[in-house]
A and B are shown apart, each in its own frame.
Chain A
Amino acid sequence: MRKVLIIGLDSAPAEIVFDRRKEFPVLNRLIEGGRFGTMRSSDPPITIPAWMVMSTGKDAGRLGLYGFRHRTGPTYDKMWIATAQSINEPAIWDIIGQAGGQSVLVSVPPSYPARPVAGQRIGCFITPGADKDYTYPKELKAELEEKFGPYMFDVPFRIENRAEILREIYRMTEKRFEVLHYLMRTKPWNLFMFVEIGVDRVQHAFWKFHDKTHHLYEPGNAFETAIIDYYKFVDQKIGALLNEAGDDTVVLAISDHGAKRMKGAFCVNEWLIAQGDLVLGAAPARGANIEKTPIDWARTKAWGWGGYYARIFLNVEGREPKGIIKPADYEREREALAERLRSIRGPAGEPWATQVIKPNEYYDDARGDYPDLMVYFDDLYWRSAGTLGWGTMYLEENDTGPDDAVHAQHGMYILYDPRSKASVRKDIDITDVAPTVLRAIGLPIPADMKGTPLR
């Protein structure tokens, strides 16, 4: 088995990694000696499920993972959070393990609880805290903490103090790479994979300071170079790690989706109210959560959830507790709503490139708790706000925290094989990644992986 190192840069877009490559000497060296391009991410292009779609080679429908949370059956107010337990398909490390190989996996979402693996595993940012068992094997936690102190899974994002967020992101990444070096030196591995979530965090917190086309950009601001400076820092860290990875190791630097400027947040439930699909039982407080707002279910046809994309649920007779849409009318109602969603325009009347997905038709094999519709407002430039009581449908900023960026459908990858150096640009799909890694390692590709290995 050959060794493969996967460098996960959560949310890193081609527009930064490729377009500004001269500023990142290590990544640039990989680009100039490797295959690289955009990677079309999963639907939805969200951290969960994207990393697992990549690692299993199965789409989100097959995994039954449509985001971080899911509605529990046809209920109005119950939901479950996706965890490592929610994954029922074998990932590349399971296949490697069966073949007798070892993997080191650091913070690949979702990896809490830290399920057993042939090798070592450290939890990701859905780990509730460092007081939990967040490693496999269990003893690895004490081994690491003795040397490096408590692991940092994420940075607190609620604080409006951006300088503090930035300091914490650097501290987290610094610590992660200390742990990575240690694991790389001391543990046996055929696959070594980690996800640096700091890339995503720095982009969400600083995009408006960085992107001149962002509606809140201010020229000459104090954080103008925060994102690029952090990339330079990560680039250096990757360089040091590569020095220890071995001369014959195949290196894959990859993101789970891209990022771009957020144009605003669209209040999907305010829109549904205006359309007559959603009827409230009482006037909502400003920013009220839909789950905590009384709804007149006898007159409600649909309601929605927020996030980087919208999930729409229909209130169907015989399915929801107080459903009113007759089953025979379901498809007609759903299509009519989809059509109305597609024709939504922006605050200045500008047309949007909104995409509406019917999960049960779109996925090859849709499983689990999928919504009736998934909506990418204006090609994801507008996030979805599920909260109520804003008095407008269009918010300039995120309704739930400091956030200037949204996800983009395309991420990026660089595949560097020291045995066959070439600088070749080729765009791929996220389902191509697992077969590509298995081929690089020298293992057979399971027949039910639909992607094509990159040559």
Chain B
Amino acid sequence: MKKEFTAVSLPTSLYREIEDAVRGTADPSVANYIAKVLRESLKKGGSTEEVFSPEDEEKVKDRLKALGYID
């Protein structure tokens, strides 16, 4: 798969700050860090919302297990 990229401008001071923050982490790329934070903040609703009650969630998990989707 070919990835496409585009460039944005940041204040150099902010860039340096992020650089310091990600240095020595699992992924020390400033671009990856910025992309990750932005994706988080763009996320609408999604997985954090309560869909299942705890009992229902167990019921669904057991079913998915029996079906082979999860273990």
Contact = CB atoms under 8 A, between A and B. Distances in A.
B69 A46 contact: yes
Nearest to A61: B1
Interface string B48-71: 010110001101110111111111
Contacts, number: 110
B24 interface: yes
A307 B46 contact: no
B1 A362 contact: yes
Interface residues of B, number: 34
A316 interface: yes
A328 B71 contact: no
B71 A400 contact: yes
A158 B66 CA distance: 6
Given A86-B46, A305-B71, A401-B65, A364 B59 contact: no
A307 B60 contact: no
Contacts of A383: 68
Contact of B67 (A112, A318, A387, A401): A401
Contact of A68 (B26, B66, B70): B70
B56 A400 contact: no
Most interface-central of B32, B43, B66, B67 (chain A CB within 10 A): B67
Interface in A28-70: 46-47, 59, 64, 67-70
Interface string A258-281: 000000000000000000000000
B56 to A, nearest CB: 4
Given A47-B69, A319-B26, A364-B4, A81 B44 contact: no
B26 A88 contact: no
B25 interface: yes
Contacts of B25: 318-319, 327
A295 B14 CA distance: 40
A94 to B, nearest CB: 13
Given A81-B61, A318-B25, A327-B24, A112 B51 contact: yes
Interface string B23-44: 0111110001001000100011
B70 A86 contact: no
Most interface-central of B24, B35, B64 (chain A CB within 10 A): B64
A88 B46 contact: yes
A85 interface: yes
Contact of B47 (A59, A85, A158): A85
A126 interface: yes
A330 interface: yes
Nearest to A406: B68
A128 B60 contact: yes
Given A85-B46, A154-B63, A289 B71 contact: yes
A367 B42 CA distance: 11
A113 B51 contact: yes
Interface size class of A (residues with CB under 8 A): 35 or more
B11 interface: no
Instruction: Identify whether the interface residues of B are mostly helix, strand, loop, or mixed.
Output: loop
Nearest to A318: B25
A387 B71 CA distance: 7
B16 interface: no
A156 interface: yes
Contact of B68 (A59, A83, A400): A400
Contacts of B1: 59, 362-364
A436 B39 CA distance: 28
B43 A88 contact: yes
A80 interface: yes
A306 B51 contact: no
Interface in A357-392: 360, 362-365, 367-369, 383-387
A86 B69 contact: no
Contacts of B4: 364
Contacts of B52: 81, 83, 128
Contacts of A85: 45-47, 49, 51
Interface in A380-421: 383-387, 398-401, 403
Given A88-B44, A308-B69, 8 more contacts: A59-B1, A67-B70, A85-B49, A126-B64, A128-B56, A157-B66, A157-B67, A319-B25
23 contacts: A46-B69, A64-B46, A67-B69, A67-B70, A68-B64, A70-B47, A81-B61, A85-B47, A128-B59, A289-B71, A306-B71, A307-B70, A307-B71, A308-B68, A319-B25, A327-B27, A360-B27, A385-B71, A386-B71, A399-B71, A400-B65, A400-B68, A401-B65
Interface of B: 1-4, 24-28, 32, 35, 39, 43-47, 49, 51-52, 56-57, 59-61, 63-71
